[in-house]
Amino acid sequence: MELRQLNYFVAVCEELSFSRAATRCFISQSAISHQIARLEHDLGVQLFERSTRSVVPTDASTRLLPLAKQMLSLESAIRAAVRTSRPRIRLAANMSFATRSLSAIAGARDAHPGAEIEFVIKPFRQRIAAVADGDCDLALIRGSVDQHGLTVEQLWVEDLMIATATSHPLAGRTDVTLTELSAYPLLLPPESEQVLLHNVVRAAFADQPAGPTYGPPIPPDHTATMELITHPDTWTILYANSPTEGIAALELAGHPLRVPVSAVLRTGARRSPILTTLLAALHCA
């Protein structure tokens, strides 16, 4: 049994999908399936009932899950306990925050030449867990999180954009209205995977006589931009720094769509001068 297998096991339990778990862990679906099969062989039990439509944890998985989480939490605690005494900060984010994060890190390093600042790529849930268990000092997220022991501080507000295929009837317009958009299907990932975007849409249409017309959810292994090209009568919402080649970006008249970007920190944790400088640099980057 290996710790990475327990990490994959927890991901499959939480995602109830080998493909989504593989995406979350940054490996291929075949690799995660192979490692789960090895874990099942080592333990001598079946952990999941598999079918073409669903992945269902067995009773053995239900018993193993809390122990696996304890083991992974202990691993993070061990890593945190043996860190070098050299000043060190670990910032967890995803690649969409890379440009701004690296600029802020460069500024913080200039102010604190002896500091070690790491930029760690993690999916959303792992970012939150890494801060909670002390493996990382802060995480960047869009939106907010309500979890005991964590503090959320807003850093900046990020614009969202309306995106369509270049052949869409509204493409080429300088701006569009919610009423005009409601006539066309809106493509979004399932709400369980993108709660924030669904909340943004609900808030935008709250005072409209008609809500959006939803198209089918974007599958986990598809991209929003490819779905727009495949279904040119649809539209979606993208973060402003998303790749837009072959896609028309539209502005929403009178109702700019925005989301807060926040830092997640441990409540009550001592803030070193380096962390304070980094947070200030992220504000200004």
Cα dist. 138→141, 188, 265 in Å? 10, 28, 5
| Confidence label for 77 from pLDDT (cuts 50, 70 and 90) | confident
Cα dist. 152→90, 97, 123, 138, 277 in Å? 17, 17, 17, 10, 17
The pLDDT tens digits of the residues spanning 19-65 come to: 888 888 878 888 899 999 999 999 999 999 988 778 899 999 999 99
For residues 213 and 186, the answer to whether their CB atoms sit within 8 Å is yes
The secondary structure element, H or E, covering residue 281 is helix 273-284
- Give residue 207's pLDDT: 86
The pLDDT tens digits of the residues spanning 99-150 come to: 899 999 999 999 998 888 999 988 888 899 999 988 899 999 998 888 899 9
| Confidence label for 244 from pLDDT (cuts 50, 70 and 90) | low
The secondary structure element, H or E, covering residue 1 is none
Which of 241, 257, 258 lies closest to 101 in space, CA to CA? 241
Of 22 and 80, which is predicted with more confidence? 22
- Give residue 86's pLDDT: 62
pLDDT at 85 over 60: no
Entry pTM:
0.63
pLDDT > 90: percent of the chain? 50
